[in-house]
Amino acid sequence: ETVMTQSPVTLSVSPGERATLSCRASQSVTNKLAWYQQKPGQAPRLLIYDASTRATGIPARFSGSGSGTEFTLTISSLQSEDSAIYYCQQCINWPWTFGQGTKVEIK
């Protein structure tokens, strides 16, 4: 099983600042990596797929990069509504697995 590890566990960022979240895979997932945002009591929402493609309706301040085993989600200018837990997911090695999440807090 491909283990996905996210860092940091919690990230506290001031409004307007940049937030950088990391995701590492225990083996290569090429570019088959998705990012989701989950707010309390809500279902996850797809942000990024294929490592760097924004999903429909996702603001341009969200961007993804990386390939192989190292990936990054960047929120270029943090807004208050971005407070949430962010999960990465690999989509190539069965079974498909998620990271443990990074909680983004507004400072």
Partner 1 sequence: EVQLVESGGGLVQPGGSLRLSCAASGFTFSRYWMHWVRQAPGKRLVWVSRINSDGSSTSYADSVKGRFTISRDDAKNTLYLQMNSLRDEDTAVYYCARDPTVAAYFDSWGQGTLVTVSS
Restricting to residues 2-41, which ones interact with partner 1 according to CB under 8 A? 32, 34, 36
Phi, psi angles (nearest 5°) of residue 87: -120, 140
Residue 87 contacts partner 1 per CB under 8 A: yes
Contact between 83 and partner 1 by CB under 8 A: the answer reads no
Beta strands in the chain (DSSP E): 4-7, 10-13, 19-25, 33-38, 45-49, 53-54, 62-67, 70-75, 84-90, 97-98, 102-106
9, 40, 43, 60: which one binds partner 1 (CB under 8 A): 43
Q: How far apart are CA 70 and CA 9, in angstroms?
A: 16
For partner 1, the binding residue among 44, 61, 68, 103 (CB under 8 A) is: 44
By CB under 8 A, name the binding residues for partner 1.
32, 34, 36, 42-46, 49-50, 55-56, 87, 89, 91-92, 94-101
